[in-house]
Amino acid sequence: MALILFNYISYQKEKELSDAKIDVRIAQREAKTAEDQVRALQEEKQKWGEKLQAEINAHTEHLQGERDKVDQLNQQVVSLSSELQDMKQKEEVARKQVDVSSACKRAPIPYNS
């Protein structure tokens, strides 16, 4: 009877050990699958990060180009504004000269007789 009980207990322990080994293999397989998924997600995250950084760099370069164009246009506006002021001053001087000249032509010359 003791031998039967010992064999039964031994069988139960071997069955538990076998079940535990199966559970360990399943857990290891699931862990490996999870690690593979994490690795794949990390690679995808890195790829998207690089793509996003490339887009940011491209937009930054574009914005810098647009800023440069704006700066150039501002310089042209300042230059043209200065030229316009010079032309207005020259026009005013010329207008005064014409007014003086035409005033001299119209003024009667005093005649002393």
Q: In this predicted model, what pLDDT tens digit does every residue of 101-110 receive, in sequence order? A: 776 666 556 6
Between CA 95 and CA 59 the distance in angstroms is: 52
pLDDT of residue 102: 72
Give the pLDDT confidence of 15-31 residue by residue, as tens digits.
Answer: 999 999 999 999 999 99
Give the pLDDT confidence of 35-92 residue by residue, as tens digits.
Answer: 999 999 999 999 999 999 999 999 999 999 999 999 999 999 999 999 999 999 999 9
Between CA 113 and CA 103 the distance in angstroms is: 24
Residue type (1 letter), 41: L
C-alpha distances (whole Å) from 87 to each of 83, 91, 94 are: 6, 6, 10
pTM: 0.52
pLDDT of residue 104: 66
